[in-house]
Structure 1
Amino acid sequence: MSQDEPIVALRSARTDVIDAVREVVALADRPVVVHPPGAGPAPARLLVDSLEERTPEDPLWVRPGSRSVAVRMQDADVSSPALRRTHASGEGRPLQLPADAQELLTLVRTAARERRAKVIGVVGARGGAGASCLAAALARTAVDRGLGTALADLDTCGAGVDLLLGIEHSGGLRWADLSTGDGSLPHDQLAAALPSWGGVRVLSADWRGGPDTSQGSEALDALAAGHDLLVLDLPRAQAVWAGMCDVVYVVTTCDVMSGAAARMLAAGWQGGDLRLVVRGPAPGGLTAAEVAQACGLTLAVSMREERSLAAALERGVAPGENRRGPLRRGALAALRDLDLVDE
């Protein structure tokens, strides 16, 4: 993002909402650029939307690479249709002001941090699509190409990416060990405290759980400030994390049911740069291009099935460590798709 880009943009015409947001943002010594209700997404690192003024006809207040959050005043009518719509658009829990002022302030401070990394999200269209494996392969391939890389596990329904990588017994912090919540987490200290996998700094969930929105935002922004590339292993049920991604790769297998799942996911994750990764096999003879056309997504990468992957994982060989396998070649193609590595 440009250094001249505003930090906070607010969509509202209500004086009480504008004053409440400005009061919080002023604590971070930042201005607020106010836009009228119904405006399209503004160029800013944090997009704040007044939930009670939102209508179904309004453009989504989201844009790739920016964080989005909805706010409402504490005395708002919690049964209003606008409140229910926030969950459909993937923003997560709306913040109540002034009660959640500290959480909003943390989001402002983390958004103000200079971001060095390209942020790639990876999400599976369905369970078992191979998203975590691709995320790991992307991170490992990037490190081998000389990019400082971090991998963050946000899919708390899984067993933890550290187990997938075979570093579950390695020392270092997991999500449950992080407690700082004021937006001041030093990126160098965080990276040094995380386990390393082949040069990739890994922030994993474990049996104790994953991040909440405020904690996650701070840690991810710290990692983005200190690396060239940040790869996020995203959960399907929480589009809120996709907001900070420059691009999200939706991973699907080459069959009708998986393609339909990818289409449904894409419909719910509007406003971002979503691209499709299709991997084999194709039991019914579908092509990757046909799956992409059915999903309405741009086909970024098509890869063959890596038949030895499941057995390799059981033996402790992590995804992407087979440099000649389809997964590694697919990860390299994705990095080339983003112009992060040379041919």
Structure 2
Amino acid sequence: MLVLTSSTDLAVGIRRAAAAADRPVLELATPGPRRQWTGAAHIVLDADFARDCVAANLPRRDRVHLVCAAAPGLPEWRAAAAVGAESVLTLPAGEADLVAALARRAGEASGGGPVIAVVGGHGGAGASTLAAALALTGPARHPGRRSLLVDCDRRGGGLDLLVGAERRPGLRWSSLVIEGGTVSADALHDALPPIGDAGAVLSCGRGTDAAAPSPAALTAVVESGRAAGDAVICDLPRRSGDLTAAALGLAELVVVVVRAQVRAVAAAETLIAAVRDDHPNVVAVVRGPAPGGLRGSDVTDLTGLPVLATLRPEPGLDVALERGGLRLGRRSPLRRAATAVLDVVQSGGVAS
């Protein structure tokens, strides 16, 4: 659970209630990244922080509790309404009520579906291919869960082309209209080109029709997919900007793809440093071949990133991409790498 208060007395009471409800606590001095806000099982905050969270445009969500040191007045009730708090409690008198609120749905997973951002450490690393492999592998790995492949790079040629969906009817970013900052996940899947067993792709398109989303549109799509339990995979451009920052703020995990070559790893170091400044959970996937014998452990030593998978060259991949789009065989190295990434997220093996 996430705790936002500058009051020592309130913090002590919240910790007692959290311990009684068997809830681990993360205390922040400022409103944290959006992923922490949306992913926390519960949020407990005071009125000042409630107003700060509203000013930071953090989305309304359930399981938010506002606490006060004295009986709440009109300012506190207004702050609670603005942030969408489901309870307003006075501590220490209301600690038992806070314990009960925190204990409800204690066994329920929070945060919905996983959001994974994939970026190439250097040009030609193969990040888009891995992103597509994640979207194609997710439903098979976790039956009942859909996947949503989100293109964030309008200069990338269109992810619909990479997965062989360029001729399938459906919306691209250029024709997607999002009203009021929200979108229905079911309606989105119905409107987008399908891929794989239970996936959809939202592509930037190509040529004069190529269009990237605004940060607000990307946020609406990602949060809709997350809330519906989808595995949302965002393929990011290497250049920084508001859109990239928004995607990083939404993701539970960032995967940097690098080739198993010393120069390629060296070229990735600047991007890796920038991403790690903004995100606590960054891992690498290394693509072979390794002409100089560079191993995954060497990449970890050079970059400081844990390596989740090392990809052997995939026979026939380039031909498949030219003739109908990405297809993954049972023994595909790409499928194995995607499985490793999805299993880490599913197991909760990333910080929250």
Structure 1 and Structure 2 fold alike (TM over 0.5):
yes
Which SS does the other structure have where 2:59 is aligned? helix
Cα distance in 2, alignment partners of residues 10 and 154 from structure 1: 35
Cα distance in 2, alignment partners of residues 46 and 117 from structure 1: 12
In the other structure, the counterpart of 1:330 is: 337
The answer to whether residue 263 in structure 2 is matched with residue 267 in structure 1 is: no
Which SS does the other structure have where 2:249 is aligned? helix
Counterpart contact for 1:64–1:271, Cα < 8 Å: no
In the other structure, the counterpart of 2:234 is: 232
1:302 is aligned with what amino acid?
T
1:75-109 Cα offsets, whole Å, 9 max, x none, are: xxxxxxxxxxxxxxxxxxxxxxxxxx9x975x635
1:335 is aligned with what amino acid?
L
Counterpart contact for 1:115–1:221, Cα < 8 Å: no
1:151-230 maps to which residues of 2 (within 5 A)? Answer: 151-198=149-196, 199-207=198-206, 208=209, 209-230=211-232
Which SS does the other structure have where 2:227 is aligned? helix
2:259 is aligned with what amino acid?
T
Which SS does the other structure have where 2:112 is aligned? coil
1:55-87 Cα offsets, whole Å, 9 max, x none, are: xxxxxxxx9969xxxxxxxxxxxxxxxxxxxxx
Counterpart contact for 1:263–1:296, Cα < 8 Å: no
CA pair 274-321 structure 1, distance change in 2 beyond 3 A: same
Counterpart contact for 1:183–1:218, Cα < 8 Å: yes
Structure 2: unaligned runs, 5 residues or longer: 7-26, 41-53, 63-82, 85-109
Aligned CA RMSD, in angstroms, stands at 3.1
Cα distance in 1, alignment partners of residues 216 and 236 from structure 2: 16
1:251-273 Cα offsets, whole Å, 9 max, x none, are: 00100121112221111111311
Match of residue 249, structure 1, among 244, 252, 255: 255
Cα distance in 1, alignment partners of residues 5 and 164 from structure 2: 44
Counterpart contact for 1:118–1:246, Cα < 8 Å: yes
Which SS does the other structure have where 2:331 is aligned? coil
Cα distance in 2, alignment partners of residues 154 and 201 from structure 1: 15
Runs of 4+ in structure 1 off by over 4 angstroms are: 39-44, 63-66, 109-115
The answer to whether residue 284 in structure 2 is matched with residue 285 in structure 1 is: no
Equivalent pairs, count: 258
Counterpart contact for 1:276–1:297, Cα < 8 Å: yes
Identity over the aligned pairs, expressed in percent?
Answer: 37
2:161 is aligned with what amino acid?
L
Structure 1: unaligned runs, 5 residues or longer: 12-34, 48-62, 67-100
TM-score after normalising by structure 1: 0.67
Structure with bigger helix share is 2
In the other structure, the counterpart of 2:121 is: 125
Which SS does the other structure have where 2:129 is aligned? helix
2:200 is aligned with what amino acid?
R
Counterpart contact for 2:287–2:313, Cα < 8 Å: yes
TM-score after normalising by structure 2: 0.65
Cα distance in 1, alignment partners of residues 225 and 251 from structure 2: 13
2:129 is aligned with what amino acid?
C
Counterpart contact for 2:33–2:249, Cα < 8 Å: no
1:19-34 maps to which residues of 2 (within 5 A)? Answer: none
Counterpart contact for 1:64–1:246, Cα < 8 Å: no
